[in-house]
Amino acid sequence: MLGRSIYSSWPLFLGMLLLMLSNGLLVTLLTLRASEYGFSETAIGLMQSAYPIGALAGCILAPGIVARVGHVRAFGALASLCSISALVHLVTSDPWSWGAMRMLAGFCFPALYVVAESWLNGQARNETRATLLSIYFIIQAGGSAGGQALLYIPDSSGSLLFVLVSILISLSLVPMLLSAKAGQGFEEPERISLLELLRMSPLGFAASFLNGVAQGALYIGLGIYGVAIGLPNGQVGMLIAALAAGGVVTQFPLGALSDRMDRRLVIFAISLISAVLCFAIGVYGVPTFEGMDVFWAVAVVGGFVVPIYSLCVAHTNDYLKPSQIVSASGALVLVLNAGIVLGPITGALSISTFGPAGLFFALAVIQGLSVLLTVIRLVGGRSRAESPGVAAPVSYAANPVAAALNPEAQED
């Protein structure tokens, strides 16, 4: 049964891999090219912040679009817009037009994920949901990291990599559109207000927002940081790849640990470790830290920062009925993206003001706030849930529809 489900889902996995390769390549490529064009760190941060602003709109509006016109037409139209947004960067070189294209891409990519994830939901059965969700997470993270390796491709003309992004997006259409059923149904997730979510889980709400700021600062700030310390383009990309790889390696063991003890303690511990580590990297300098190569240092930071959001989702789900899980997880996606909007600006301003080390000082502060928040909830919050669920891996590219893959959401 499991093997058959994985085999029948290969078009989705391949299409998502191509999408994540293109998205991972584009986000770092834009930082590098913007630096070459003389954009300031602040301008780069503001330009990149347009993506999560578009993603907020995409998460809210995309399910309705898919429900109205169907999977096939929605996927084709949105992929075409994504491809166009990548190519427009070749004919303009100002922060405003680039920011507009980042906002368009930010709207389209999450909408494409809605199509892919709802299609995967249709393939999943209760006994295979957890495994399919894990494979989907690994493909998302691995594709984003793999896109960084494409920066090593020689591009003397300055246009090849942007064209490659467009090609990858177009190729993602092929397996998806040839396999998706035109008449496939789509059920838009029920909405839950942010105020209700805050009342349900203050820690899940606030820590998700802070983790969005941290992840946004890392995924965009590391590109600016790499340029600032003089790394060649390919190695700048490997910084982001190291970040994603670190998050993948620790996601599952930290999730399993949180299933066996109070999740708040795990969030507290990894937030504290990452805060201390980031502060130490800022103080002791770069590119090495106590004999550790900067790539390993970034991987370790990613290993303790990236999984926090998944733990926040699991902590929130522990106090919900199965019927509330999808809507609450969808609301947490919006909270995460709201934090990601501030992340690139925070990372860029920190580097602009304090130099390369400023990125890690900013991260130390963000993680320190998470530590403080977790202590407050440990002292004055509710006790650990009597029947906690199972932590599921969630990517920074999360979408409300993916929450339906959680097996707990399917319980009666």
What span, in angstroms and rounded, lies between the C-alpha atoms of 147 and 24? Answer: 5
**What values do phi and psi take at 334, rounded to 5?**
-65, -40
187 part of a folded domain: no
Residue 123, pLDDT score: 66
**What values do phi and psi take at 387, rounded to 5?**
-130, 75
* CATH classification of the domain holding 355: 1.20.1250.20
Single-letter code of the amino acid located at 393: P
If one counts the domains in the chain, the total is 1
User: How far from 359 is each of 90, 172, 221, 238, CA to CA, in Å?
Assistant: 29, 34, 7, 17
121 part of a folded domain: yes
Cα radius of gyration (the chain): 20
What's the count of helices (H) and strands (E) in the chain, helices before strands? Answer: 15, 2
What span, in angstroms and rounded, lies between the C-alpha atoms of 268 and 208? Answer: 13
Per-residue buried b or exposed e for 301-312, using 16+ beta carbons within 10 Å of the residue's own CB: bbbbbbbbbbbb
175 part of a folded domain: yes
Residue 290, pLDDT score: 47
20 part of a folded domain: yes
The tens place of each residue's pLDDT in the chain, 412 residues long, gives: 556 666 777 777 888 899 999 999 999 999 999 999 999 999 999 999 999 999 888 877 877 787 787 777 888 888 889 999 999 999 988 999 999 999 999 998 877 877 777 777 766 666 666 677 778 888 888 888 899 999 999 887 778 999 999 999 999 888 877 765 544 555 555 667 788 888 888 999 999 999 999 999 999 999 999 998 888 888 888 999 999 999 989 988 998 898 888 889 999 999 999 999 999 999 887 555 444 588 888 999 999 999 999 898 888 888 777 767 777 777 888 898 899 999 999 999 999 999 999 999 999 999 999 999 999 988 886 766 666 667 667 777 766 666 666 666 665 4
Task: Give CA torsion, residues 167, 169, 171, 172, to 10 deg.
Answer: 170
Residue 292, pLDDT score: 53
Residue 129, pLDDT score: 67
222 part of a folded domain: yes
Residue 198, pLDDT score: 87
Distance of CA 182 to the CA centre of its chain: 29
CA-based torsion, 228, 42, 352, 270: positive or negative: negative
184 part of a folded domain: no
Q: Quote the pTM value.
A: 0.88
Instruction: Supply the range of the domain harboring residue 88.
Output: 2-179+192-410
Q: Is residue 9 within 8 Å of residue 132, measured between CB atoms?
A: yes
Residue 410, pLDDT score: 60
User: How far from 242 is each of 98, 194, 272, 285, 293, CA to CA, in Å?
Assistant: 26, 33, 21, 18, 11
- Closest by CA to 271, choosing from 365, 188, 197, 335, is 365
What span, in angstroms and rounded, lies between the C-alpha atoms of 22 and 161? Answer: 10
The position carrying tokens 């058959």 is 4
186 part of a folded domain: no
* Angle value at C-alpha 231, between 287 and 352, nearest 5 degrees: 80
Tokens coding 208 = 């998700």
Tokens coding 91 = 């004919």
The position carrying tokens 């708040």 is 264
What span, in angstroms and rounded, lies between the C-alpha atoms of 198 and 407? Answer: 24
Residue 139, pLDDT score: 87
Tokens coding 171 = 């190729």
What span, in angstroms and rounded, lies between the C-alpha atoms of 162 and 48? Answer: 16
Q: Which helix (H) or strand (E) holds 289?
A: strand 288-289
Check residue 381 and give left, alpha or beta (phi > 0: left; psi -120 to 50: alpha).
Answer: beta
185 part of a folded domain: no
Residue 67, pLDDT score: 75
What span, in angstroms and rounded, lies between the C-alpha atoms of 48 and 30? Answer: 8
What span, in angstroms and rounded, lies between the C-alpha atoms of 78 and 67? Answer: 14
Single-letter code of the amino acid located at 171: L
DSSP helix/strand/coil, 292: strand
Residues 6+ apart with CB under 8 A from 368: 271, 275
Residues in the chain: 412
